[in-house]
């Protein structure tokens, strides 16, 4: 499918798929959305020495970059293992045109940005000390057969339900749920009532939070202790 680069309202770029009329990020600001949904309402709410993150899907790699950027602000005495699923990897010229490294003050982000795309698929590799990435090229529905450590944080970042409605229905959420650790957190830009109900049916504690620019609300959900599931 043909993709083109678009600039969003905060100046950061995204990819747009003409045939689906769908962007990889919010046109109100790709960077702001990633930081709000996945860092402020995700990573920053998880307090563990070793955090296993599962992302659906890798896309442009922007969520990996904002996560590393946040990790670099800490005293780095914890470890992050980041597992990212993607069926349709983007190409080198798209990576270059997105120019995400220029969004961050941290100078190392240029080299880090190159490394996250260059690193071999299907292998857990060190991006910087304490931050490991495994990109897995697969369909989201292959999740069931993947061997992953118990996941502490899920970045649920599929295309919208308008274009991929099945990715917002119970079977995929159930697969993700079974990969999650007790007390793990799932965060998504979606605020759909049907998604909220599915997460509640799975026994999760769901919270509505203010959304990123251009969106009133978003959802986060905690996996509870076994005896109250």
Q: Does 159 bind ligand SAM (CB under 6 A)?
A: yes
Stretch that binds ligand SAM, among 4-12, 83-91, 114-122, 190-198 (CB under 6 A): 83-91
Nearer to ligand SAM, 136 or 202 (CB): 136
Dihedral, 52, 56, 61, 64 alpha carbons, nearest 10: -20
Among 76, 87, 178, 208, binds ligand SAM (CB under 6 A): 87
Q: Measured at CB, which residue is nearest to ligand SAM?
A: 59
Nearer to ligand SAM, 110 or 203 (CB): 110
Q: Does 33 bind ligand SAM (CB under 6 A)?
A: no
- Residues 6 or more apart in contact with residue 4 via CB below 8 angstroms: 15, 16, 18
Nearer to ligand SAM, 89 or 203 (CB): 89
End-to-end CA distance of the chain: 41
Q: Does 12 bind ligand SAM (CB under 6 A)?
A: no
Pick out residues in 41-80 that bind ligand SAM (CB under 6 A): 57, 59-60, 62-63
Please report how close the Cβ of residue 64 comes to ligand SAM at its closest, in angstroms: 7
Q: Does 24 bind ligand SAM (CB under 6 A)?
A: yes
| Both structure tokens of 150 | 């118990």
Look up tokens 């620019």; give the residue. 213
Nearer to ligand SAM, 156 or 177 (CB): 156
Please report how close the Cβ of residue 61 comes to ligand SAM at its closest, in angstroms: 6
Nearer to ligand SAM, 92 or 225 (CB): 92
C-alpha distances out from residue 224 to 39, 108, 121, 142, Å: 21, 38, 32, 25
- Residues 6 or more apart in contact with residue 13 via CB below 8 angstroms: 5, 6, 7, 30, 97, 98, 99, 100
Between strands 180-188 and 217-222, the pairing is antiparallel
Nearer to ligand SAM, 12 or 132 (CB): 12
Q: Does 32 bind ligand SAM (CB under 6 A)?
A: no
Interface residues with ligand SAM (CB under 6 A)? 24, 57, 59-60, 62-63, 85-88, 139-140, 157-159, 164
């Amino acid at each position: 499918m043909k993709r083109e680069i678009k600039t969003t309202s905060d100046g950061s770029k995204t990819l747009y798929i003409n045939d689906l009329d769908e962007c990889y990020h919010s046109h109100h600001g790709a960077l702001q959305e990633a930081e709000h949904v996945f860092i402020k309402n995700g990573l920053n709410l998880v307090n563990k020495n070793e955090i296993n993150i599962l992302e659906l899907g890798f896309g442009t790699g922007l969520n990996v970059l904002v996560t590393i950027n946040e990790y670099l602000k800490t005293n780095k005495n914890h470890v992050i293992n980041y597992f990212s699923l993607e069926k349709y990897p983007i190409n080198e010229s798209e990576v270059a045109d997105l120019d995400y490294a220029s969004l961050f003050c941290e100078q190392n982000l240029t080299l880090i940005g190159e490394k996250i795309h260059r690193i071999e698929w299907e292998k857990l590799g060190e991006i910087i000390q304490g931050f490991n990435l495994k990109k897995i090229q697969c369909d989201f529905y292959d999740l069931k057969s993947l061997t992953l450590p118990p996941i502490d944080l899920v970045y649920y970042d599929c295309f919208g339900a308008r274009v991929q409605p099945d990715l917002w229905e119970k079977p995929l959420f159930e697969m993700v749920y079974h990969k999650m650790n007790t007390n793990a957190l799932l965060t998504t830009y979606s605020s759909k009532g049907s998604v909220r109900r599915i997460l509640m049916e799975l026994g999760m504690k769901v919270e509505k939070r203010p959304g990123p620019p251009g969106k009133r609300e978003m959802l986060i959900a905690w996996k509870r202790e076994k005896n109250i599931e």
